[in-house]
C-alpha cells in the first residue's frame, strides 16, 4: 500500500470517527431533519438477503407515500366541496333575485351544467303540473309513453337516482337524438311531486351508482323551494 493511500485511508477513518462521535453526542440531529433520515439507505451484510432493518425502512417509506397520497386526495375533495358550496351560495342568491319562471328555469339549467361539469341539463314536469302560460310546453313527461310510471318510484323516494338508465328512459327524458352514457335524476317536489331535474353525460362513468348524492339532493331541495310558488299541482 502506498504512502498516499495509507494517509487517505487514515484521513477517511478520522472523518468517520468524527461523524460517529458527533451523532453519539447529538442524537437529536436526525430528528431535526426527518427528510434526511427517511432517505437514508442503510446496508447490512446478510449474505445477499434483505435485512430486517431494510425491510422495516422500506415499509415505513411505502406507508408514508401511501399516507401522503391519501392526504392529497382528501385535500382535493375538500377543495371541490368548498367550491361546490360557493357555487350553491351563488345559485341561491340568483334564485332569490329571479322572479319569472322562464328565467328561473334557464338560470338553473345554465348554472347546473357548469356546477357539475355535465353535458345536458333539462327539466321534466309531471302532466298535472301547470302554470299561467306556455312556458312548460315541451317540458312535460309524455303521459302516453309509460315514462310517468317509470319515474314515480324515484319521485316518491325523494332521492336522486344516478347511473345508466334504459335507452327508452333516456330518450323520454333527454330527447331521441341524445346519447346519454350516465345520468343523475333529481326529484322536484313540494306539497306534491313536480317532476325531475335531469343531468346527463355522454360518459358512462360521470354519474356512477356509487357517487355521493348529498349535493344533488340539496340542489333538488333548493330548486324545488324556488319553484313551489311558480307552479301549480292540479
Q: Are 202 and 180 in contact (CB under 8 A)?
A: yes
**In 12-72, which ranges are E strands?**
none
CB atoms within 10 A of CB 186: 25
The rounded distance, in Å, linking the Cα atoms of 232 and 234 is 6
Q: Are 181 and 203 in contact (CB under 8 A)?
A: yes
Query: How confident is the prediction along the chain (234 residues), in pLDDT tens digits per residue?
Result: 555 565 566 666 678 788 878 877 877 776 676 666 656 655 555 555 556 677 777 788 888 888 888 888 888 778 877 887 788 888 888 888 888 999 999 999 999 998 888 999 999 999 999 875 688 888 999 989 999 999 999 999 999 999 999 999 999 999 988 899 999 999 999 888 999 999 999 999 999 887 888 889 999 999 999 998 888 876
Q: Are 228 and 131 in contact (CB under 8 A)?
A: no
CA distances from residue 98 to 95, 101, 105, 107, 122 in whole angstroms, order as listed = 5, 8, 10, 9, 18
Name the pTM for this structure.
Answer: 0.67
3-state secondary structure (DSSP) of residue 98: coil
Domain locations along the chain:
100-233
Look up residue 21 and give its three cell numbers. Answer: 462521535
CATH of domain 100-233: 3.30.450.40
Amino acid at each position: 500500500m502506498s504512502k498516499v493511500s495509507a494517509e487517505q485511508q487514515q484521513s477517511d477513518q478520522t472523518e468517520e470517527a468524527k461523524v460517529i462521535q458527533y451523532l453519539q453526542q447529538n442524537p437529536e440531529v436526525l430528528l431535526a431533519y426527518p427528510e434526511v433520515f427517511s432517505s437514508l439507505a442503510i446496508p447490512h451484510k446478510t449474505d445477499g438477503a434483505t435485512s430486517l432493518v431494510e425491510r422495516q425502512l422500506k415499509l415505513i417509506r411505502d406507508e408514508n407515500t401511501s399516507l401522503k397520497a391519501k392526504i392529497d386526495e382528501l385535500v382535493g375533495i375538500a377543495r371541490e366541496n368548498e367550491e361546490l358550496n360557493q357555487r350553491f351560495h351563488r345559485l341561491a342568491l340568483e334564485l332569490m333575485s329571479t322572479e319569472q319562471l322562464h328565467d328561473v328555469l334557464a338560470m338553473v339549467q345554465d348554472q347546473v351544467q357548469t356546477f357539475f361539469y355535465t353535458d345536458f341539463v333539462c327539466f321534466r314536469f309531471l302532466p298535472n303540473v301547470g302554470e299561467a302560460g306556455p312556458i312548460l310546453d315541451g317540458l312535460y313527461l309524455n303521459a302516453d309513453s309509460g315514462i310517468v310510471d317509470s319515474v314515480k318510484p324515484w319521485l316518491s323516494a325523494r332521492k336522486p337516482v344516478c347511473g345508466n338508465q334504459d335507452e327508452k328512459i333516456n330518450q323520454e327524458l333527454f330527447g331521441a337524438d341524445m346519447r346519454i352514457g350516465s345520468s343523475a335524476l333529481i326529484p322536484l317536489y313540494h306539497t306534491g311531486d313536480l317532476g325531475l331535474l335531469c343531468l346527463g353525460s355522454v360518459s358512462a362513468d360521470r354519474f356512477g351508482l356509487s357517487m355521493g348524492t348529498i349535493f344533488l339532493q340539496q340542489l333538488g331541495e333548493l330548486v324545488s323551494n324556488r319553484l313551489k310558488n311558480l307552479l301549480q299541482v292540479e
